[in-house]
Amino acid sequence: MSDAPSGRLVLEGVAKRFGAIQALDEVALAIEPGEVLAVTGPSGAGKTTLCRLIAGLERPDRGRLTLGGADLAQVPARRRRVAYLFESYALFPHLSVFENAASPLRAPGQLPPLGAGELSERVQQALDLLGIGHLAGRLPAELSGGQKQRVALARALVQEGATATLLDEPISHLDAKLRHRLRGEIKRRLAARPAPAIWSTPDGLEALSVGDRVAVLIDGRIEQLATPQEIWERPASVRVARLIGDPPMSLVEGRVAQGEGPPALVTGEGARLPLQPSLAAGLLQLAGREAVTLGLKPRAIRFLPLGEAGAGSLPQVEIYTVEPFGKHAIVSARIGAALLRAKTAGNCGLAVGQRVGLQLESDGLMVFDGRSGRAIELPSRTAGVA
Ligand SMILES: Nc1ncnc2c1ncn2[C@@H]1O[C@H](COP(=O)(O)OP(=O)(O)OP(=O)(O)O)[C@@H](O)[C@H]1O
């Protein structure tokens, strides 16, 4: 196995089709040794297909995959020495938890060969880290879904000499507390390996928290590939914005109207979202950009109880939902078909059905092209909302 290539993983123009479905198209990316690339996207986006191509379980229709400069088309799956956590776990039903986790270390050609003591210690450490050390003697059929997922994860983690690590939704079936603890622990271990890693997840926030960089995959194409900070601050499109945020950005589609009365974004249902005149002018300056989608981060939206200073002059909306989380609440109101979601500090004191003034701030506002959905840089970023 010493002939397995290793180093930087590069994909160039990779495409894969299953019948009528283009599972991946024009995928280009590079992952450095020690780097974790989080790949996020909705169900069916192509995350698993991407992992399967790298592992050698599928062949690309077009494009090239290289590892440390070596063309992977020439390297069969069994010689790639990739640690792969399958979304379906793929545990051996007749082997115990311990033996499942240990199985790649017992495979012929393991380099360097491990002594029995070292093997046992490494496997037990991984099981303990994942909180399943006490289940080492059980069979997979005697485990819950979350426990099975952790066995599959242990099996990937013990492969310290892997040339690449592919974790396909590694913590999706664990409870929230365990997910939070393990995100950091797994990331630490991946960063310590001299190999590139992919962490696939449909959860955009999980992707931001574990990835050195994040690739947003939608309908088989990379919609954005950037650092977590860039994706959080400047999602490249409406489709990225929908996946990211806590809660995600509110998106209001409409046309800029500058007739009678103050300029406004008028939604398909005829609801009016008043715009600061400079923002309306900026939008209209861009030829053909009358149809836009406004993106409002939670911090850009405030609901003021009527009677509070300044609330009387604001457009009124009705509170639609209130979700208290203790340290903050997520509160929403409707504008036409769109839901505006704000994050308020502490107990917001607002109730469902209450009428409030809607105040929008220019900080946290983005504009997207109404047709392509791509982010638009306005002539003046100082423009805001009324
Ligand atoms: N072997 C196959 N035969 C036919 N279609 C397939 C096959 N494998 C994947 N697909 C299709 O390719 C697309 C991408 O699937 P893939 O499993 O890669 O998505 P995913 O992002 O991993 O989804 P999920 O989050 O639901 O696991 C989907 O439309 C899927 O139905």
State the span(s) of the chain assigned CATH 2.40.50.140. Answer: 250-376
State the span(s) of the chain assigned CATH 3.40.50.300. Answer: 9-234
Output the CA 154–ligand 1 centroid distance in Å. 25
pLDDT at 44: 95
- Token output for 53: 């191509």
Which protein residue's CA is at the shortest distance from atom 11 of ligand 1? 23
Query: What is the residue-level pLDDT of the chain in tens, covering all 386 positions?
Result: 456 778 999 999 999 999 999 999 999 999 999 999 999 999 999 999 999 999 999 999 999 999 999 999 999 998 899 999 998 889 999 999 999 999 999 887 666 677 888 899 999 999 999 999 999 999 999 999 999 999 999 999 999 989 999 999 999 999 999 999 999 999 999 999 999 999 999 999 999 999 999 999 999 999 999 999 999 999 999 999 999 988 999 999 988 877 667 778 888 888 888 877 767 777 766 644 578 899 999 998 999 998 887 777 788 899 999 999 888 999 999 988 899 999 988 777 899 999 999 988 878 888 898 889 999 887 654 434 54
Among 18, 88, 167, 223, which residue has the most ligand 1 atoms within 8 Å of its CB, making it the best to mutate? 18
Pocket of ligand 1 (CB under 6 A): 18-19, 21, 23, 41, 43-49, 87, 202
Output the CA 143–ligand 1 centroid distance in Å. 26
CATH tag for 9-234 (out of 3.40.50.2300, 3.30.200.20, 3.20.20.70, 3.40.50.300): 3.40.50.300
Question: In 3D, which of 341, 81, 45 has the Cα closest to residue 193?
Answer: 81
166: Cβ–Cβ under 8 A, 6 or more apart, which residues? 51, 54, 55, 82, 83, 84, 85, 156, 197, 198, 200
pLDDT at 383: 38
Which protein residue's CA is at the shortest distance from atom 7 of ligand 1? 18
Output the CA 42–ligand 1 centroid distance in Å. 11
* CA–CA distances in Å: residue 347 to residues 184, 263, 308, 334, 361: 30, 34, 17, 21, 21
Ligand 1 atom showing the smallest separation from residue 52 Cα: 18
The pTM score is: 0.90
Output the CA 22–ligand 1 centroid distance in Å. 9
CATH tag for 250-376 (out of 2.60.40.420, 3.40.50.2300, 2.40.50.140, 3.30.390.30): 2.40.50.140
4, 207 Cβ separation under 8 angstroms: no
CA angle, 183 as apex, 52 and 58 as ends, to 5°? Answer: 0
pLDDT at 1: 43
Output the CA 220–ligand 1 centroid distance in Å. 9
What secondary structure, in 3-state letters, does the chain show? Answer: CCCCCCCCEEEEEEEEEECCEEEEEEEEEEECCCCEEEEECCCCCCHHHHHHHHHCCCCCCEEEEEECCEEHHHCCHHHCCEEEECCCCCCCCCCCHHHHHHHHHHCCCCCCCCCHHHHHHHHHHHHHHCCCHHHCCCCHHHCCHHHHHHHHHHHHHCCCCCCEEEEECCCCCCCHHHHHHHHHHHHHHHHCCCCCEEEEECCHHHHHHHCCEEEEEECCEEEEEECHHHHHHCCCEHHHHHHCECCECEEEEEEEECCCCCCEEECCCCCEEECCHHHHHHHHHCCCCCEEEEEECHHHEEEEECCCCCHHHCCEEEEEEEEECCCEEEEEEEECCEEEEEEEECCCCCCCCCEEEEEECCCCEEEEECCCCEEECCCCCCCCCC
Output the CA 21–ligand 1 centroid distance in Å. 9
Which protein residue's CA is at the shortest distance from atom 28 of ligand 1? 44
Which protein residue's CA is at the shortest distance from atom 18 of ligand 1? 46
213: Cβ–Cβ under 8 A, 6 or more apart, which residues? 35, 37, 38, 225, 226, 227, 228
Among 16, 17, 25, 49, which residue has the most ligand 1 atoms within 8 Å of its CB, making it the best to mutate? 49
Ligand 1 atom showing the smallest separation from residue 45 Cα: 21
Which protein residue's CA is at the shortest distance from atom 25 of ligand 1? 43
For residue 357, count other CB atoms closer than 10 A to its CB.
19
Output the CA 234–ligand 1 centroid distance in Å. 28
Output the CA 35–ligand 1 centroid distance in Å. 25
